[in-house]
Structures are given as C-alpha cells and as structure tokens.
C-alpha cells in the first residue's frame, strides 16, 4: 500500500534522523533538535500544499524562516532551523530522495552576540578596595585573591591562562607577564603598579605559607609547587574551577546580568581600556584574539555606555 502523499515528507524526516543517530553518531539531544526543526518544516510545508520532497523550494524555505522571524524567535533559533533544513535537503539530494537541493542558496542569519557583562569603574574600585582591606590582615587566601583579581583586571587574561602561569612568567621589573594562550601561542602582556604591588605581597607573605602546607607530594607535584604562581590550599597549582568560584562569589553582590565569572573581568579590562582611548589593535594584542572582529564587540559595549551617559547627562538628549 502506497503511503499517502501527506506522509511522504515526514517519512523522509524519520529516515534522516535515524541516519543522524546511527551513521553520524549525533547525540540524542542533537537528533531531537533536528527532528523538532524539521517537523516544523513539514507542518509549514503542508499549509502551503507541499507534501513531498519535490515540492520543497528555496522560496518555501525562506518563507518558513521568515514566519519564524515574524513570530519573534531568536536569531540563534532561526540559524539552527536553517542549518537543519540545509542538512536535510543536502541528504535528500545525495540519497536520491529529491532531484535537487533547494537549500544550496539558503542563508541563515548570524546569531546575535550578547554584549558581555562589564563592571563599571566605581564598582571595580569598590571591589578592589574590599580585597585590599582583607589583604591587610595578611591572610594568605586574602593576599592571593587580591593578586588574582588585580592581575585578571590589569591584563585581561583568560582564567586558563592565569592558572597556567609559573612564577618565572612574571617580570615584576618590566611589569609584564608571559602568557601561553589558545593554540599554544605565547604573548607578553603588561600590567600596572597595583597588580605589581599585590603580586609582590602574595609572593612574599602568602605563597610561602601555601607552599608549606597541604599534603605530601610526589616529585612531579613538588616541581609543580616550585613553578606554579598561584597555589591552592593543598599545595597544588590553583585550578580553573577555584578561580571561577572565587570571582563569581566576589561579583555576586554587584548589580548586573550573569555570567559573573572571571571572563567578566576580562571584558571589563578590555572595555575600560577602550573607554580610556586605547587602540583597538593594541587591545586585540593584549587579549590574544586571532581576529580583530572578536575584539570589536567591546567597541559596542563602549558605544552603549557612551549613549547611556549622553542620555543621562545631555540636556537635549
């Protein structure tokens, strides 16, 4: 018995998601997302009287995405639906399910990139003042926290770069730190006198205490202790999660949208540099971005702040 034409397109979708799971090895979550997107395409096609694969056209696919856009769906969702449709129609053409691939020229909108969270100058100063007061107690953890936050804010380091630093990577005379970033690329990043002061205090009064405590280590662990700049409570190199928890806790009380981890300090450093007149390419070098386009998101943050200041201060805004 021949399947009803209205079921034909849906049957191809069923075969396609089986192919994704069995042959491509996609996760259950990914397969479910494809199925949901393509079920929506099938339902829309049926409203246009299209019930088989030969009825799929570029115009129909564009209209499907346009309807979703008008419904207020996020750009990332539209982009994902477009990708699902392109994969499906390419598979149909490749396996003989259709005579042509109508989605070859289907373009998807670029997902909107949310502006990163940035802490304003007053909030940042309040945070650093709080940490400085705690550090005056000579508590090793407090001295370490001040050095970490000062260095993150001064240099815009990624948290992975920070925890990977060795003592020898820091030049306290030239006020620079040698960083190994993404792709094992090295760069030299400057920092300021406040960060220098905090690191000196940490190295002199906190790190020896942290290095002396904890568990008995093996030869490899001992070498790590001797080299690592920032140590944890167990005489080991401080990890990414520990730094994330520290910064997230410190920023929890500051108004603003999430996320509130170490990357917020990186965003803040870049934005404050641009606000102060730094060259965009210099900020790119500082952050270790391969593309200038990645750095340009911070110009949008600075522009938004400028507009806010203008609206609140200018008499004819």
Q: How far is CA 273 from CA 8, 26, 129, in A?
A: 58, 43, 20
- Closest by alpha carbon to 192, among 269, 260, 262, 268? 269
Give me the catalytic one of 81, 144, 237, 266: 266
Whether 300 is a known active-site residue: answer: no
For residue 136, the SS3 value is coil
- Catalytic residue among 81, 86, 272, 289, which? 289
Q: Would residue 29 show up in a list of annotated catalytic residues for this protein?
A: no
* Token output for 188: 């030299």
Residues 228, 166: contact at Cβ < 8 Å? yes
Q: Please confirm, yes or no, whether 182 is among the known catalytic residues.
A: yes
Set 48, 182, 222, 241: catalytic member: 182
Catalytic residue among 81, 158, 235, 267: 158
Is residue 222 among the annotated active site residues? no
From 62, 134, 263, 305, the catalytic residue = 263
Instruction: Identify which of 251, 254, 207, 250 has the alpha carbon closest to the alpha carbon of residue 232.
Output: 207
Q: How far apart are CA 95 and CA 113, in angstroms?
A: 36
Active site residue 266: yes
- How many other C-beta atoms lie within 10 A of the C-beta of residue 2? 6
Q: What residues act catalytically? A: 158, 182, 263, 266, 289, 298
């Amino acid at each position: 018995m021949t399947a009803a034409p209205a079921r034909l397109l849906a049957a191809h979708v069923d075969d396609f998601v089986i192919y994704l799971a069995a042959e491509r090895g996609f996760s259950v979550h990914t397969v479910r997302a494809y199925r949901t997107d393509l079920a929506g395409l099938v339902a829309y096609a049926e409203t246009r009287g299209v019930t088989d694969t030969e009825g799929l056209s570029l115009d129909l696919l564009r209209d499907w995405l346009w309807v979703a856009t008008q419904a207020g769906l996020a750009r990332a969702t539209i982009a994902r639906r477009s990708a699902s449709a392109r994969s499906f129609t390419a598979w149909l053409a490749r396996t003989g399910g259709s005579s042509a691939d109508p989605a070859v020229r289907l373009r998807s909108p670029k997902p909107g990139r949310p502006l990163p969270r940035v802490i304003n100058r007053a909030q940042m100063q309040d945070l650093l003042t709080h940490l400085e007061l705690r550090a005056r107690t000579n508590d090793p953890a407090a001295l370490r926290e001040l050095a970490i936050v000062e260095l993150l804010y001064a240099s815009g380091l990624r948290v992975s770069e920070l925890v990977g630093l060795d003592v020898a990577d820091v030049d306290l005379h030239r006020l620079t730190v040698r960083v190994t970033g993404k792709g094992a690329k090295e760069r030299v990043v400057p920092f300021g006198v406040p960060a220098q002061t905090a690191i000196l205090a940490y190295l002199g009064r906190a790190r020896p205490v942290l290095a002396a405590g904890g568990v008995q280590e093996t030869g490899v662990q001992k070498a790590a202790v001797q080299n690592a700049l920032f140590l944890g409570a167990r005489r080991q190199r401080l990890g990414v999660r520990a730094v994330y928890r520290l910064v997230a806790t410190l920023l929890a009380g500051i108004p603003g949208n999430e996320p509130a981890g170490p990357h917020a300090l990186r965003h803040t450093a870049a934005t404050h540099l641009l606000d102060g007149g730094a060259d965009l390419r210099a900020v790119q070098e500082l952050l270790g971005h391969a593309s200038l386009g990645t750095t340009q998101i911070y110009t949008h943050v600075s522009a938004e702040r400028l507009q806010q200041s203008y609206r609140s201060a200018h008499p004819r805004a």
